[in-house]
Amino acid sequence: MFVAEENVDFRINVENQTRARDDVSRKQLRLYQLYSRTSGKHIQVLGRRISAKGEDGDKYAQLLVETDTFGSQVRIKGKETDFYLCMNRKGKLVGKPDGTSKECVFIEKVLENNYTELMSAKYSGWYVGFTKKGRPRKGPKTRENQQDVHFMKRYPKGQVELQKPFKYTTVTKRTKRIRPTNPS
């Protein structure tokens, strides 16, 4: 007879699954703005420079957030500049044109108060944070649950969710994959 254990903690399993890249899960792409709790403005990716001085609907404040793992690892890219939000080894927030390095991956944590924290996947314990004036704070100077590291996800003005509905298809040896026809 099998006896189920009552106090099973799945957090360790979820953390292990989150750390590994996942080729099976569907890559998700979302468009939103990140509202900084301290500056009262939105995060902007201005090429290599990062700030939290963006107004609602500003083209530089629109961020494409990519997830390609089981858990909550994300890459954040400025829609207008195509630069990724990254944290270098000194803890400084910078924009990089190539977001494939571990420095550009953040672990997204949704808090009880509905704010979101972004912790560096490479430098554990370092968070994305901004001052009241919208300047980036260095990773080593940030702590979990500080107001400086709290963000709220908001859709840009006049925009509803970008994500398209997922179409399920089954391909067998007898069926052919349907390719879209080009109207010429």
Average the pLDDT over 158-165 and give the result: 55
Domain 19-154 = CATH 3.40.1130.10: no
Share of the chain above pLDDT 70, in %: 70
What pTM was estimated for this model as a whole? 0.73
111-124 pLDDT tens trace: 988 899 999 999 99
Domain ranges of the chain: 19-154
d(CA 72, CA 145): 18
pLDDT at position 17 is: 54
Rg over alpha carbons for the chain, rounded to the nearest Å, is: 19
> What's the mean pLDDT in 172-184?
58
Alpha-carbon span 64 to 49, nearest angstrom: 17
Which one has a higher pLDDT value, 172 or 125? 125
Q: Which residues are registered as beta bridge partners of 50?
A: 45
Q: Please give the structure tokens belonging to residue 68.
A: 């390609």
The pLDDT tens digits for 8-36 are: 666 666 555 555 555 555 678 899 999 99
**pLDDT score of 80 more than 90:** yes
First to last CA, the chain: 66
